[in-house]
Structure 1
Amino acid sequence: MTNSSTTMLPPIVIQACIFDMDGLLINSKDVITHCTNQLLKKYGRPAFTRSIRVQLMGVPNSTNGDIFHEWAKLPIPRETWARELKEQMQLDFQSCVPLSGAEKLLSDLSCAQNTSGERIKLALASSSKTHSYRLKTSRPETKQLLDVFHPDQRILGDDTRLPHGRGKPAPDIYLLALQSLNSAAGTGEKPIMPEECLVFEDSVAGVEAGRRAGMRVVWVPNRDVGAEYESKQELVLAGRMTKDALRDDSHLEKVDDG
């Protein structure tokens, strides 16, 4: 429900859909959790709690950041942890598979038209780096799923056009994905504007990245994330949960703006 003072966003014809990947299209976040818990057990530490797992979702290099290490209190140097976890994940990432519903959604959208009769354009905006992406898509069914995105419209976390330190929740990766779509447009095609893009995200940081880019966002949280933020869904959808990370509130959206 929204109150009478709420300012709703005007109706917009969606021209493009931009997707996150990890935990939204493929089960790589479950793989990361499994690898992390195995290594935590090796060093006598408890498994991920729901709360700490949710805080780390969607944040680049989160399993070697301050939040994780302050919680984990590992008896080894960060460098050792990072090396061992990377080695384990490189093995297990090769088992990644599509999540339920992902194949049908992308298949339907790849041949869909909007209400104006124009073809919906698709792009990927993933924090995964190139090497990890290749491992995660090594199974035939996973590669086939992601092949719906043209290589030029797959923006990954190590793209040289992304400024250092500007991963999600910063909007840069989504704006770059939009730029890639407009660069591929035919002669005479009108550029797609941010508000004409629909972002699909599972993480809170990713939702904020999409909203800060000026785009509409469909939030698809997993069970843990949905439960953790059940009482704060309106703030999540407005992109107002991780604002301190950027110290820039100028592009925050309004709660319940539609």
Structure 2
Amino acid sequence: MASKDSPPPPIRACLFDMDGLLIDSEDLYTIVTNRILAEHNRPPLPWTIKAQLQGRPGPQAGQIFHSWAQLPLTHEEFVQKQSALQRELFPNTKPLPGVPELLQELKRRGVHMALATSSHRVNYDLKTSHIQHLFEPFAQDHRVLGDDPRIPPGRGKPAPDIWLLALKTLNTTLAQKGEPEIRPEECLVFEDSVPGAESGRRAGMQLVWCPHPELLKVYQGREKEVLAGLTGEHKEDEEQELESTEIEVKQGRRRVGLPGEIDDGWATLLDSLQDFPYERFGIGQRPAL
């Protein structure tokens, strides 16, 4: 657990969410949902509900949404409409401001990178096939998707498992090269969602929270709770969670599974990924070869 008494070490690895963080797909999800709601004279999806859906695996998000929407559709009918609209809109995704420059600069500076997205393979391909160049800094072995069989059922975000798996993929590559492994506290998680922010903090990692402006309005006055991972998005029993996710970390510097503390210095709120402050995280210039 991070605390004010344990300042964060320099960053060696950056782990990225995708939807709403790297690409504008969160806005497309909203368009898809609102079209279906409008067909049945339902109001548009409010950000108070959308905030609960972001970052979560599809089944969990679906339960939350349907409890609120009360649409006169079977699950199969809704999925059919949703999938048709997603196939139409997802191939139009675009990188968010500052993202291409950030990924290339991190690569140039020698930072290890991995992707950890709740999107399943079909939707991932729809959103990324036309912008594959954007994801070039992520090696295929370092891309973890929401339907990865290595993530136990029910352990998607806000549980920490996906981030720990992304780190494991990096350390597997480093071990093959005979290089020292990366510890969780040397990782910087990039997230836009609140459940994702909590999962990153519960993974024992540092955090950059870069939310949608409308999401930031929902959490106005609670920003510090989000940064510490203290919003209570993870509903499982605390003892059960620790039992299943705690891992040994070299030098005994931290325990995975716990959130952080308010103002512990391990998390940062950014309005945009443009003009990223590399030096704040100990990411220095790498000499040109």
Correspondence for 2:47: 50
Matched, 1:28 2:28: no
Unmatched runs of 5 consecutive residues or more in structure 2: 243-257, 266-289
Secondary structure at the counterpart of residue 188 of structure 1: coil
Count the aligned residue pairs.
245
Please report the TM-score for the alignment, with normalisation by the length of structure 1.
Answer: 0.90
Correspondence for 1:238: 228
Asked whether the equivalents of residues 53 and 61 of structure 2 are also in contact (C-alpha less than 8 Å), the reply is no
Which AA in structure 2 matches 1:98? P
Q: Alpha-carbon deviation of 1:71?
A: 1.5
Return closer, same or farther for 1:135/1:154 CA change in 2, 3 Å cut-off.
same
Matched, 1:253 2:242: no
Aligned partner of 1:146 among 113, 120, 135: 135
Q: Alpha-carbon deviation of 1:246?
A: 2.5
Correspondence for 2:157: 168
Q: Alpha-carbon deviation of 1:212?
A: 0.6
Secondary structure at the counterpart of residue 245 of structure 1: coil
Correspondence for 2:272: none
Which AA in structure 2 matches 1:252? P
Correspondence for 2:75: 78
Please report the TM-score for the alignment, with normalisation by the length of structure 2.
Answer: 0.81
Asked whether the equivalents of residues 160 and 203 of structure 2 are also in contact (C-alpha less than 8 Å), the reply is yes
Q: Alpha-carbon deviation of 1:133?
A: 0.9
Deviations 1:34-68 (A, max 9, x none): 01101111111111112111121111116863321
Aligned partner of 1:111 among 108, 113, 116: 108
Q: Alpha-carbon deviation of 1:8?
A: 4.0
**Aligned-partner Cα distance in 2 for 1:73–1:46:** 11
**Aligned-partner Cα distance in 2 for 1:159–1:62:** 14
Deviations 1:191-243 (A, max 9, x none): 10000000100000101111111000000001111111121111101111134
Q: Counterparts of 1:155-194 in structure 2 under 5 Å? A: 155-185=144-174, 186-194=176-184
Aligned partner of 1:205 among 178, 192, 195: 195
Secondary structure at the counterpart of residue 65 of structure 1: helix
Asked whether the equivalents of residues 64 and 82 of structure 1 are also in contact (C-alpha less than 8 Å), the reply is no
**Aligned-partner Cα distance in 1 for 2:171–2:61:** 35
Aligned partner of 1:134 among 125, 132, 141: 125
Correspondence for 1:122: 113
Deviations 1:161-186 (A, max 9, x none): 11111110010100000000000014
**Aligned-partner Cα distance in 1 for 2:115–2:178:** 24
Return closer, same or farther for 1:183/1:150 CA change in 2, 3 Å cut-off.
same
Return closer, same or farther for 1:64/1:220 CA change in 2, 3 Å cut-off.
closer
Asked whether the equivalents of residues 184 and 205 of structure 2 are also in contact (C-alpha less than 8 Å), the reply is yes
Secondary structure at the counterpart of residue 189 of structure 2: strand
**Aligned-partner Cα distance in 2 for 1:102–1:176:** 23
Aligned partner of 1:18 among 15, 19, 28: 15
Pairwise CA RMSD: 1.6
Q: Alpha-carbon deviation of 1:70?
A: 2.1
Unmatched runs of 5 consecutive residues or more in structure 1: 1-5, 113-118
Asked whether the equivalents of residues 62 and 68 of structure 1 are also in contact (C-alpha less than 8 Å), the reply is no
Q: Alpha-carbon deviation of 1:248?
A: 1.8
Aligned partner of 2:62 among 55, 60, 65: 65
Higher RCO (C-alpha 8 Å, min separation 6): 2
